[in-house]
Copies of this chain bind each other. A is one copy, B any other.
Amino acid sequence: MKKTLYPEVFENPAVTVDVLLFTVENNQLKIVLVKRAEEPFRDSWSIPGGFVKKGENLEEAAIRVLNEKTGVRDVYLEQLYTFGEPNRDPRARIITVSYFALIPSKHLKKPDGEKIIDIEYFPSNKLPPLAFDHKKIVEYAVERLKNKAGYSNIVYGLLPKKFRLSDLQKMYEVILGHQLDKRNFRKRMLSLGLLEPTGEKDLVGAHRPAQLYQFKKREVVFFDQ
């Protein structure tokens, strides 16, 4: 079979980016979903996503789409996986490159667009029915997040600049889904050398004040890469 130099345009699939935006709120790992305003799957919840534009690369597209749909800026995004089953979208062939990110829950804003978009956090283990193959994508992302958490400072995105070690521990506990020993957790976190004490103390509450820490670097460091 002869292959044409230029692929037939009509065969080109559309390419989207989907952003899995996680947060921790009320001791639960939650994910941001938006309600679809159009068919197919009108009124179903879905992962915020959008088409990749001509001049932008995939990460730029993810950043733009995230901002348009959720108002969120300045987050660390990591490419997750590319889903491309031929019939995952009933309208047309749409291949989606998924990204994930973690943000503090208060960072979410409703976008300023002309129409109000329904946007909401859902506990990652109590999802509503989702459009397309989005259930599978969310489950894949949750799995990856749990695996990555143990070897990274990925939770950086979830915390304010200065935080208590007990805040940090709580984030890990929620993501991993189980409790951690306080002494072992502190030992390990501090030995990684990613944190530094700010010298400031948290003076809230009728109890001993906690040292506030911050991450030395803004970049997320992965230890398995």
Could you list which residues of chain A lie within 8 angstroms of chain B, going by C-beta atoms?
3, 5-7, 9-15, 38, 50-58, 79, 81-86, 91-93, 95, 97, 143-144, 147, 224-225
Whether A52 contacts B13 by the Cβ 8 Å rule is: yes
Whether A54 contacts B15 by the Cβ 8 Å rule is: no
Knowing A14-B7, A95-B15, A143-B225 are in contact, say whether A57-B84 is a contact too (CB < 8 A): yes
Main secondary structure of the interface of A (DSSP, over half): loop
| CB of A130, distance to nearest CB on chain B (Å) | 19
Residues of chain B contacted by A57 (CB below 8 angstroms): 84-86
Identical chains in the assembly:
2
Residues of chain B contacted by A95 (CB below 8 angstroms): 15, 52, 58, 95, 97
Whether B10 contacts A9 by the Cβ 8 Å rule is: yes
Complex partner residue of A12 from B15, B38, B83, CB under 8 angstroms: B15
| CB of A176, distance to nearest CB on chain B (Å) | 15
Residues of chain B contacted by A81 (CB below 8 angstroms): 79
What would be 9 A-B contacts, judged by CB atoms less than 8 Å apart? A5-B91, A11-B51, A15-B84, A54-B86, A57-B84, A57-B86, A82-B97, A95-B95, A144-B225
Whether B11 contacts A9 by the Cβ 8 Å rule is: no
Whether B52 contacts A84 by the Cβ 8 Å rule is: yes
Complex partner residue of A15 from B13, B55, B91, CB under 8 angstroms: B13
Whether B11 contacts A50 by the Cβ 8 Å rule is: no
Residues of chain B contacted by A147 (CB below 8 angstroms): 224-225
Chain B, Cβ-Cβ closest to A84: B58
Whether A9 contacts B6 by the Cβ 8 Å rule is: no
Complex partner residue of A84 from B7, B11, B91, B97, CB under 8 angstroms: B97
Whether B224 contacts A224 by the Cβ 8 Å rule is: yes
Residues of chain B contacted by A51 (CB below 8 angstroms): 3, 7, 11
